Chain A
Amino acid sequence: MTDELTIAIPRGTLFRKTLDFLEALGIETAEIRANDRRLVFPGILTVRPSDVPAYVEHGAADLGITGKDVLVEQSEREVYELADLDYGHCRMVVAAPPDADPLGERLLRRGVVRVATKYPNVAARYFSETGRQAEIVEVKGSVELAPITGLADAIVDLTATGRTLAENGLVEREAIWESTARLIANPVAHKLKAEAVDALVARIRELR
């Protein structure tokens, strides 16, 4: 990283691609790749994707990289969204078992559909905006399990290839929106470290 800026990057599925992306920007990542358990490096913090906005909003990092899905779910965070990094493509979808249409049937006969998700805000907003009543069940992991076990009629989740959905006997019913990795910035760092931030954003724009 440049001397001035600290950036929070996401562990998990975006991690490797983010390191490749930083390499492409000319930022050395060999040390990070060689130390899988270490979390803090000069100018770089490695955190959970969903924690990136908190680190940036509170100024522990000046910049951050995380998925748009995280930013939509945490829309109350006061951070700048500076650039679409065009990797980590995936879709937020409603998925359900392939037999019949549980969404339709459930809604017709009982008036409310039960939806399991790791993204309660996204799911609640989507069903509300499409005029359907939904009971949202928040789970922290393995959301595909919910329809199989009868916890919920459907799920709202992120999918890149659809493979995990298919392996758990689910099919995509509705696409909500597409997500990619985004560069975010702390509002104060965006003003007080403007030159360094702009130099980085300019390099990102050149890459595209």
Chain B
Amino acid sequence: MIHPVPPGTRDVLPDEMRELRALSGSLHATFDRAGFGEVWTPALEYEEVLRRGDERAAAGFRLFDDRGHVLALRSDATIPIARLVANRYATEPAPLRLCYFAHAYRAVERGSGQAREFLQGGIELIGVGGAEGDAEVIALIVEALSEAGLNRHRIGLGDGMLYRTLLANAGVSDEDAQPLLESLWRRDLVGLEVRIDRLGLTGSARDALVAVPALRGGREVLAKVPGPAAENLSAVHELLAERGVADRVIFDLGLLRDLGYYTGTIFEVYDPAVAFALGGGGRYDELLGRFGPSRPACGAGLDIQRVHVAQIEEERGT
């Protein structure tokens, strides 16, 4: 008789586990060498604590404890770490470098390749603002993946405020902007163009809103969207060049990540051997302030099982 496990969860047997353990170990060694100390936080948090970080963060799995409190399974590691920093490091002024390896839990709405429980490994850099912090995080992720044996990984780099700013500059109200951002997030560029035209926008504002989601490539694309976002991305790129990893970067000006707390630079990690993003991250300068003293922060998370798939595929030479 077979006793089922919930869809989107799985068991791992020794052959695979050995490789996952080795991969996690390799990533952890790189993070640790760079001064990112590992932390653990509970898988279960109070729902209201997670929701303080992001309205939708507790939407996956909720339960009552024996005293009637509503608990939720964490949907990522970043919000619990923001809570931890506010609780434990409130008076620590120096930058904090933390890393984690933890399961996170999400209700699967999009993407059939997604799991409800997945193992994430990542880093959080707290107290270093702007391009300097972004470049440190991105360069370390690139290095950790190279150390783990990947050769062809790339970083898609964008700015979470870019499209919002374009919409605001075009005079689109927040209310009207929401469905457009939704279309962009759903990658429905046809629907996005229809909605832009429905707003009655014309001329260069209209053309920019239609063109920007398709802008990806090298530095030359930044010249097409002059403004603070392009200046920020250009600065990040320069710092990555100094660290010798700028050739990994593809600018992607239509990039929008689903989590609600990103405030600037965002990125995703790709490998040509696999069809899914391996992970991603970005800058979240307002999140810490929701729990304690406001501090700039940037982080990144990798889906360990997807990185493992990329390792295998690269070995096979796909």
Bound-state Cα–Cα, A57 to B250, Å: 21
Cβ B190 vs Cβ A78 within 8 A: no
Chain B residue, CB-CB nearest to A56: B275
B214 located at the interface, meaning its Cβ lies under 8 Å from any Cβ of chain A in the complex: yes
Cβ A76 vs Cβ B250 within 8 A: no
Question: Could you tell me the distance in whole angstroms from the C-beta of A119 to the nearest C-beta in chain B?
Answer: 18
Instruction: Mark the stretch among B12-20, B35-43, B105-113, B233-241 that contacts chain A.
Output: B105-113
Question: Could you tell me the distance in whole angstroms from the C-beta of B195 to the nearest C-beta in chain A?
Answer: 13
Cβ B190 vs Cβ A194 within 8 A: no
B270 located at the interface, meaning its Cβ lies under 8 Å from any Cβ of chain A in the complex: yes
Cβ B250 vs Cβ A81 within 8 A: no
Bound-state Cα–Cα, A57 to B187, Å: 12
Instruction: Mark the stretch among A24-32, A126-134, A139-147, A182-190 that contacts chain B.
Output: A182-190
B191 located at the interface, meaning its Cβ lies under 8 Å from any Cβ of chain A in the complex: yes
Chain B residue, CB-CB nearest to A76: B110
Bound-state Cα–Cα, A77 to B275, Å: 13
A105 located at the interface, meaning its Cβ lies under 8 Å from any Cβ of chain B in the complex: no
Give which listed residue, A58, A80, A83, A201, contacts B113 with CB less than 8 A: A58
Q: Which of A159-208 contact B (CB under 8 A)?
A: 182, 186-192, 194-195, 198, 201
Question: Could you tell me the distance in whole angstroms from the C-beta of B228 to the nearest C-beta in chain A?
Answer: 23
Give which listed residue, B154, B187, B270, B272, contacts A79 with CB less than 8 A: B187
Cβ A192 vs Cβ B274 within 8 A: no
List of A residues within 8 angstroms of B252 by Cβ? 191
List of A residues within 8 angstroms of B191 by Cβ? 81
Cβ A82 vs Cβ B275 within 8 A: no
List of A residues within 8 angstroms of B274 by Cβ? 59, 188
A84 located at the interface, meaning its Cβ lies under 8 Å from any Cβ of chain B in the complex: yes
Interface residue total, chain A, C-beta cutoff 8 A:
26
* Known contacts A78-B111, A79-B187, A182-B190; A58/B214 CB under 8 A: no
Bound-state Cα–Cα, A198 to B6, Å: 41
Interface string of B47-88 (1 = CB under 8 A from A): 000000000000000000000000000000000000000000
B276 located at the interface, meaning its Cβ lies under 8 Å from any Cβ of chain A in the complex: yes
* Known contacts A188-B272, A192-B270, A198-B214; A82/B190 CB under 8 A: yes
Bound-state Cα–Cα, A59 to B276, Å: 8
Interface string of A63-89 (1 = CB under 8 A from B): 000000000000111111111100000
Chain B residue, CB-CB nearest to A61: B275
Q: Which of B171-216 contact A (CB under 8 A)?
A: 186-191, 214, 216
Give which listed residue, B112, B189, B275, contacts A186 with CB less than 8 A: B275
B156 located at the interface, meaning its Cβ lies under 8 Å from any Cβ of chain A in the complex: yes
How many A-B pairs with Cβ below 8 Å?
70
Q: Which of B261-276 contact A (CB under 8 A)?
A: 268, 270-272, 274-276
Chain A residue, CB-CB nearest to B194: A84
Interface residue total, chain B, C-beta cutoff 8 A:
27
Cβ B112 vs Cβ A57 within 8 A: yes
List of A residues within 8 angstroms of B271 by Cβ? 188
Cβ A192 vs Cβ B154 within 8 A: yes
List of A residues within 8 angstroms of B268 by Cβ? 191
Bound-state Cα–Cα, A58 to B217, Å: 23
B277 located at the interface, meaning its Cβ lies under 8 Å from any Cβ of chain A in the complex: yes
A54 located at the interface, meaning its Cβ lies under 8 Å from any Cβ of chain B in the complex: yes
Question: Could you tell me the distance in whole angstroms from the C-beta of B151 to the nearest C-beta in chain A?
Answer: 14
Question: Could you tell me the distance in whole angstroms from the C-beta of B268 to the nearest C-beta in chain A?
Answer: 8
Bound-state Cα–Cα, A78 to B306, Å: 16
Question: Could you tell me the distance in whole angstroms from the C-beta of A196 to the nearest C-beta in chain B?
Answer: 12
Bound-state Cα–Cα, A201 to B190, Å: 12
Give which listed residue, B186, B188, B277, contacts A188 with CB less than 8 A: B277
Bound-state Cα–Cα, A198 to B277, Å: 20
* Known contacts A76-B111, A78-B111; A57/B189 CB under 8 A: no
**Contact surface of B with A, Cβ cutoff 8 Å:** 108-113, 154, 156, 186-191, 214, 216-217, 250, 252, 268, 270-272, 274-277
What 6 new A-B contacts, CB under 8 Å, besides A57-B275, A78-B187, A186-B275? A76-B111, A80-B188, A81-B188, A191-B156, A191-B250, A194-B217
**Contact surface of A with B, Cβ cutoff 8 Å:** 54, 57-59, 75-84, 182, 186-192, 194-195, 198, 201
Q: List 20 A-B contacts (CB under 8 A).
A: A57-B275, A76-B108, A76-B112, A77-B110, A78-B110, A81-B187, A81-B188, A83-B189, A83-B190, A182-B190, A187-B187, A187-B277, A188-B272, A188-B275, A188-B277, A189-B275, A191-B156, A191-B216, A192-B270, A195-B217
